């Protein structure tokens, strides 16, 4: 089994990168033959801008360009997709959102047209979301931020494509031990990535 771990943070020394690496470590420990690939969108220079050319892809007028086709291929060869990202303005960074905007295109992630019924095409792809936030659990709870993120991301993006969100994790910074505990949580996610279990949603605060 193979996992694609996508991380969207410009600093390779960041907790986001540490979490992504520990998810991968957990995958490696989960059983013989299990593997992972880390897609570092910032280091790879992925262009998140949705342009007129992407609109033509959406309208099914042209095929996806080479960079988008390559991203779709590496998702296609994965048995699980893991997104690791910091919370910016109570959502994912623009880099990751742009990756989704461009890669999860009409005709690949779903089929939709004026005269055809909507078809979700990613029902085979389990998704694991690991968000890293700087605010307190109290702040998220008081304003309903995590619920809003789940509505936008878990339901609005992945349910639209039929991809089941198995893990929806929010790691919050609180106390000196928080980073170490978050890395352990990430390793545990990796170890159980390919085990059949029902979708879960947790908020983790140290």
Residues 6+ apart with CB under 8 A from 141: 203
Q: Which two tokens mark 144?
A: 């309903």
pLDDT, tens digit (0-9, with 9 covering 90-100), for 117-156: 899 999 999 999 999 998 888 999 999 999 999 999 999 9
pLDDT band at 200 (very low <50, low <70, confident <90, very high): very low
Q: What average pLDDT does the structure give for the chain?
A: 92
Compute and round to an integer the Cα radius of gyration of the chain: 17
pLDDT at res. 177:
61
Residues 6+ apart with CB under 8 A from 138: none
pTM, full prediction: 0.91
pLDDT, tens digit (0-9, with 9 covering 90-100), for 167-198: 999 999 755 567 899 999 999 999 999 985 44
Q: Is residue 182 within 8 Å of 14, Cβ to Cβ? A: no
CA dihedral 46, 48, 50, 56 (to 10 degrees): 30
Measured CA distances, 205 to 44, 138, 139, 172, 174 (Å): 31, 10, 12, 5, 6
pLDDT band at 76 (very low <50, low <70, confident <90, very high): very high
What is the bridge-based pairing of β-strands 2-7 and 35-40? parallel
* Residue from 99, 101, 107, 119 nearest 4 by CA: 99
In the chain the domains, ranked by start, together with CATH numbers, are 2-205 (3.40.50.360)
Alpha-carbon span 96 to 84, nearest angstrom: 9
pLDDT, tens digit (0-9, with 9 covering 90-100), for 78-106: 999 999 999 999 999 999 999 999 999 99
Q: Could you give phi then psi for residue 35, rounded to 5 degrees?
A: -140, 170
* Residue from 36, 39, 198 nearest 126 by CA: 198
* 3-class secondary structure per residue, 74-102: HHHCCCEEEEEEECECCECCHHHHHHHHH
Question: Tokens 């005709």 appear where?
Answer: 107
pLDDT at res. 82:
98
pLDDT, tens digit (0-9, with 9 covering 90-100), for 13-69: 999 999 999 999 999 999 999 999 999 999 999 999 999 999 999 999 999 999 999
Question: Tokens 């949603």 appear where?
Answer: 201
């Amino acid at each position: 089994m193979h996992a694609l771990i996508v991380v969207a943070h410009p600093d390779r020394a960041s907790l986001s990168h540490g979490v992504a690496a520990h998810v991968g470590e957990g995958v490696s420990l989960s059983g013989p033959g299990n593997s992972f690939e880390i897609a570092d969108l910032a280091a790879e220079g992925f262009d998140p801008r949705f342009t007129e050319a992407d609109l033509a892809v959406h309208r099914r007028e042209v095929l996806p360009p080479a960079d988008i086709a390559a991203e779709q291929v590496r998702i296609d060869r994965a048995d699980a997709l893991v997104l690791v990202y910091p919370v910016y303005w109570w959502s994912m960074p623009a880099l990751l959102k742009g990756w989704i905007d461009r890669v999860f295109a009409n005709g690949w992630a779903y089929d939709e047209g004026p005269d055809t019924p909507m078809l979700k095409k990613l029902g085979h792809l389990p998704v694991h979301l690991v968000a890293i936030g700087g605010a307190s659990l109290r702040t998220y709870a008081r304003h309903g931020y995590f619920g809003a993120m789940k509505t936008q991301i878990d339901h609005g993006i992945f349910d639209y494509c039929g991809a089941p969100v198995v893990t929806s994790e929010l790691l919050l910074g609180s106390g000196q031990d928080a980073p170490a505990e978050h890395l352990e949580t990430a390793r545990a996610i990796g170890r159980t990535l390919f085990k059949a279990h029902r979708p879960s949603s947790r908020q983790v605060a140290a």
